[in-house]
C-alpha cells in the first residue's frame, strides 16, 4: 500500500492528489514553504495526512534554521508555523501537529546539535502513529461487520486522507482481509489497485435515495437539481470538483455556494451550513 506522505532523505514525499485518479504522481519538497503551498492547493488532503504534512514541514524548517541563535531560531520557526497554520485554518490536526513539534523545539534553552534529528523523528513517529491508529480502527471496527452488511461512509475516509491505511474504510479493509484469512475456499482472490479493493457504486441505492430526500426536504431541491457523478477515492467536494472538472453538483450543506469556502484554500464554513448539515442528518435518520 502506497503511503500518501513520507519522509525520505530529508525530503517530504507525497502523492499529488490533484492529478488523481487519472495519474499517480509524486511530489518532493526540501522547503517548508513548498509543503505549506501543497497543503493550501490541496496536493495533499484529509485531516490526518495534513497533520503529518504540517509536522514534516516544521521539520524541514528546523533544517533551514538550526544554526541560528536560539532567539532567532524561534523567531524564524514561529514564522514558519504561522505560514503553515494559514494554509487550512479549520484543520485541527494541522494545529495539533504544529503544537507538538513546537513543544520540542521550545523545550531547550539552547538548540542541541541534534535538534533537527529529534524533530524529524517526532514527525516520522506521528506518521507511524497514524498508521497504527487506523489499523486499530480497522481491527476493532471489522468485528461489527457481518457478511452482506452495507457500509455507508461520509467524507474522505480512505487511505489518501491518512498517511496510509484509512479511517472509516479501515474497517472495510480489515473485514475483507479477515474474510480472506478465515475462508475455507481455495480460489479466493482479491484484486486491487494500490489501496482500493473492488467495489460497486450504485447511484440509485436506497441510501443515496434517502440522502437525496433529506436534501430536498432541507433545501427544497427538485429531482432535476441533482447531477450524477463520481470520483475515485474520495468524497471531498474539492476533490470531486477537480476530478470531474465541474462544480455543477450539490454539496452537502450547500457548500458550493459562493459565500462559503469549505474544503478549499482559506476554508471557512457558515453557521447556517452547520445547521443545514444537522437538519439533513436528522431527516436522513428519520426516513
Tens digits of residue pLDDT in 37-88: 999 988 998 889 999 999 999 999 999 999 999 999 999 999 999 999 999 8
Q: How confident is the model at residue 233 (pLDDT cuts 50, 70, 90)?
A: very low
- Is 173 inside any structural domain? no
Indicate the number of domains in the chain: 2
End-of-domain residue from the set 112, 131, 150: 131
- Is 186 inside any structural domain? no
Which string of b and e fits 86-125 if b means at least 16 CB within 10 Å? ebbeebebbbebbebbbebbeeeeebeeebbebbbebbbe
- Identify the residue with better confidence: 18 or 268: 18
Residues 110 and 20 occupy one common structural domain? yes
pLDDT at 19: 85
Summarize pLDDT for 119-172 with one digit per residue, the tens. Answer: 999 999 999 999 999 999 999 988 888 877 777 666 667 888 899 888 888 888
C-alpha grid cell, residue 218:
432541507
d(CA 84, CA 176): 38
- Is 59 inside any structural domain? yes
d(CA 116, CA 60): 8
Sorted by sequence, the CB contacts under 8 Å of residue 118 that are 6+ apart come out as 104, 112
Which string of b and e fits 21-60 if b means at least 16 CB within 10 Å? eeeeeebebeebeebbbbbbebbbbbbbbbbbbbbbbbbb
- Is 76 inside any structural domain? yes
- Is 123 inside any structural domain? yes
The total number of residues shown for the chain amounts to 287
DSSP 8-state class, residue 7: E
Q: How confident is the model at residue 279 (pLDDT cuts 50, 70, 90)?
A: confident
Q: How confident is the model at residue 191 (pLDDT cuts 50, 70, 90)?
A: very low
Residues 212 and 105 occupy one common structural domain? no
Q: In what order do the strands lie in the sheet with 26-29?
A: 5-8, 11-15, 26-29
DSSP 8-state class, residue 251: P
Residue 134 CB neighbour total at 10 angstroms: 25
Residues 125 and 215 occupy one common structural domain? no
Residues 122 and 238 occupy one common structural domain? no
Residues 105 and 13 occupy one common structural domain? yes
Evaluate if residue 202 carries a pLDDT over 90.
no
C-alpha grid cell, residue 51:
497533520
Residue 7 β-bridge partners? 12
End-of-domain residue from the set 82, 101, 131: 131
Q: What are phi and psi of 25, to 5 degrees?
A: -130, 155
Supply the range of the domain harboring residue 263: 206-286
- Is 276 inside any structural domain? yes
- Rg of the chain over Cα atoms, rounded to whole angstroms, equals 21
End-of-domain residue from the set 103, 131, 159: 131
Can you give the CATH number for the domain in which 42 is found?
1.20.120.420
- Is 151 inside any structural domain? no
Q: How confident is the model at residue 186 (pLDDT cuts 50, 70, 90)?
A: very low
- Is 63 inside any structural domain? yes
pLDDT winner (highest mean) among 28-37, 184-193, 243-252: 28-37
C-alpha grid cell, residue 264:
478549499
Amino acid at each position: 500500500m502506497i503511503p500518501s506522505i513520507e519522509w525520505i532523505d530529508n525530503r517530504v514525499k507525497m502523492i499529488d492528489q490533484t492529478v488523481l485518479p487519472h495519474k499517480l504522481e509524486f511530489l518532493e519538497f526540501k522547503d517548508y514553504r513548498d509543503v505549506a503551498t501543497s497543503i493550501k492547493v490541496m496536493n495533499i488532503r484529509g485531516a490526518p495526512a495534513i497533520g503529518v504534512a504540517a509536522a514534516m514541514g516544521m521539520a524541514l524548517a528546523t533544517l533551514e534554521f538550526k544554526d541560528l541563535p536560539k532567539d532567532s531560531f524561534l523567531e524564524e520557526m514561529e514564522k514558519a508555523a504561522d505560514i503553515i497554520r494559514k494554509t487550512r485554518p479549520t484543520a485541527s490536526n494541522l494545529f495539533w501537529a504544529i503544537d507538538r513539534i513546537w513543544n520540542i523545539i521550545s523545550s531547550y534553552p539552547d538548540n542541541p546539535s541534534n535538534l533537527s534529528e529529534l524533530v524529524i523523528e517526532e514527525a516520522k513517529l506521528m506518521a507511524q502513529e497514524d498508521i497504527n491508529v487506523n489499523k486499530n480502527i480497522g481491527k476493532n471496527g471489522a468485528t461489527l461487520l457481518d457478511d452482506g452488511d452495507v457500509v455507508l461512509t461520509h467524507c474522505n475516509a480512505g487511505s489518501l486522507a491518512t498517511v496510509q491505511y484509512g479511517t472509516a474504510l479501515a474497517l472495510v479493509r480489515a473485514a475483507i482481509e479477515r474474510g480472506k484469512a478465515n475462508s475455507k475456499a481455495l480460489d479466493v482472490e482479491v484484486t486491487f489497485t494500490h489501496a482500493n479493493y473492488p467495489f460497486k457504486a450504485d447511484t440509485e441505492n436506497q441510501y443515496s435515495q434517502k440522502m437525496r430526500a433529506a436534501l430536498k426536504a432541507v433545501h427544497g431541491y427538485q429531482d432535476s437539481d441533482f447531477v450524477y457523478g463520481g470520483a475515485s477515492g474520495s468524497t471531498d467536494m474539492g476533490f470531486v470538483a477537480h476530478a470531474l472538472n465541474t462544480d455543477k453538483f450539490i454539496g452537502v450543506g450547500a457548500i458550493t455556494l459562493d459565500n462559503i469556502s469549505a474544503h478549499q484554500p482559506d476554508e471557512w464554513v457558515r453557521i447556517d451550513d452547520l445547521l443545514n448539515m444537522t437538519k439533513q442528518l436528522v431527516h436522513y435518520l428519520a426516513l
